[in-house]
Amino acid sequence: MLRGAAPFRDNLPPILQQRKRAGHDFKKCEHQANLIVSILFCAILVGSTLLQISANRRNAQLACSIITDQLEDVISINEQDVELLLSTLKDEYIVRVRMTSDLLDAADDSQLSAHEYEELTARLQVDEIHIFDEPGTIVDGSVPEYYGYSFRSGQQMSYFLPMLADRTLSMCQGITPNTAEGKSMMYAITWNTAGTRMVQIGI
């Protein structure tokens, strides 16, 4: 190349130089277009994902609401069934405690030992038999450890205090921890025919 001569690229004819610039501008525009398309794609993808998450959350909340409503219905029905079962059990245990009282009245039970009371509980299919005196204190029965406990010995036993005011009553308590040991029990109690003592069974 001759000294002082301009490079060949600078000596391109104007039409070629214009085409070169156009090609450069086209690549630049293409690059920008690709960038814009990529940004739009990412924006659409993020938006779609957010919409999907929002829809899933709404569906999950709706499903949870439906399940919760169904559980509440089931619990309500179960509670009614439990109440009916407890009511039926109370009626049965009152019949059983009256039968126990009649059996003891018919027999000479004044000399019964705790072991004999235990044998009687097995025959009657109950767990405990307690004999209360007129003031409401346990004086006999199948559990000697409970002798001396009374209706005033604790909240559980105080449930039966109305028995002292009305000797025609028979009562059955729902399932609750007993005063002596905290065992979950159901107790039914009745006055004997003569009104001289109360007989209680525990299940």
86-140 pLDDT, tens per residue?
778 889 999 999 999 998 888 766 668 888 889 889 988 999 999 999 999 999 9
Cα 120 to Cα 101: distance, rounded to the nearest angstrom:
12
Residue 1, amino acid: M
Q: Is 101 left (phi over 0), alpha (psi -120 to 50) or beta?
A: alpha
**pLDDT tens-digit readout, 145-194:** 999 999 999 999 999 999 999 999 999 999 999 999 999 999 999 999 99
What is the Rg, in whole angstroms, of the alpha carbon atoms belonging to the chain?
45
Angstrom CA distances, 135 to 47, 151, 165, stand at 79, 9, 10
